[in-house]
Structure 1
Amino acid sequence: MDKRFWICGTVVSFAALLLSFLVHGLLLAPDYAALVHEYRDARDGARQLPWVLLAHALLGFAMTWIFSVGFAHDRRPLRQGLRFGVAMALVAAVPACLLAYAAQPLPAGFIVRQAALGSASMVLLGLLLAWLQPRRRAFTAPH
Structure 2
Amino acid sequence: MFRLHERLQADTAPVAELPLCRVLLMDNRVWPWLILVPAVPDLTEIHQLDEAGRHRLVDEIAQASTALEQLVRPDKINVGALGNMVPQLHVHVIARTRSDPAWPGPVWGSGFAERYDPAERDSLIRSIGERLGQK
Q: Which has the higher strand share?
A: 2
Shared fold by TM > 0.5? no
Q: Which structure ranks higher in relative contact order (CA pairs < 8 Å, sequence separation ≥ 6)?
A: 1
Larger radius of gyration: 1
TM-score, normalization by structure 2: 0.29
TM-score, normalization by structure 1: 0.28
Q: Which has the higher helix share?
A: 1
